[in-house]
Structure 1
Amino acid sequence: MQPEIRPATVEDAEAAAWCHLLCWREAYAGLVADDLLLERTSDIDRRTERWATRLGEGSTRWIALNPDPAAPLQERVAGFIGTGPGRDEDGPVAFELEAIYTRQAFWKTGLGARLLDVAVGKQPAFLWVFEGNERALGFYRRHGFEPDGVRKHDPYFDLQEIRLVRY
């Protein structure tokens, strides 16, 4: 059974926040130092508040619901995607893919592609991805995104990011 994808509401904030933190742990294991990763992914209250605030302000977020009706709160959301107007002053296109994650149990199931199709479609967009995140880089390349040569440092995880664009 495929996860249902729908717009997130403020009521989804805690389940989405759990997905967010657990996705970070799964996606960034081996990229981010273990102690830093644990520190950055341990404050569920802060992440829930951030989700609730962003959703309350009208941010666009789509969630994929775990098809298991008995899934506990921490497993209720299987993935998510966030988009919006580009936040970079020198943005190469007007639309930004701000975040896309799926839980590891849903990797290679097509869920990421479904989320991308629902929230972005074929329109031009840009995003930031950590250098060395080969799994994510491969996913984005398969969907037409290429590096544009711009880099920056992410202080939260202390990693370099590269910008990818699809025109």
Structure 2
Amino acid sequence: LPSDKIQIWTKTMNVTPPSQGHPCGLYNSAVFSPSAESDWPAQGLNVHMIVQLQLVFCMLGTDQFLTYVQCFHVTPPTGLRTDAAATGLHILKHAQRNNGEQIGDVLPLSHLRSPVHLIPHFGKTANPHLTTHTSHELSTKFWLNRYWNKQIYYCLSLCSM
């Protein structure tokens, strides 16, 4: 879109494009509802999605703020015979197309329900290129930190998904 048709917000949340200090950018992750009517946190992740915010913007001449997000696939900790079951943490993986491109979507900012904290899951060996500035972009698997705050803990304790 032409820059005279869109207003981009980079200081509302961490949705900062790549720079010298952050070569991969700096982006927050959040819980989004697919609709305006949301029963968050009562339904937990059952009808919600975890996304990484890439852009917050507003089309000039409108009052609707939108987001461009990249989506995650969520696996609940129950029934797994792994460290996920022991910790009670959901596992997230970047949702990708067959060609490896990440799946994204445009959602109204009003559907944002809560920020979340993701912890990179390194597996047996970590990528040697990981730094504090690149760990979320170079990692493909994450833990959803249910212990980050009491609201997230309560919500994720209520649901199986």
TM-score by length of 1: 0.28
Higher relative contact order (CA 8 A, sep 6+): 2
Higher strand share: 2
Choose 1 or 2 for highest CA Rg. Answer: 2
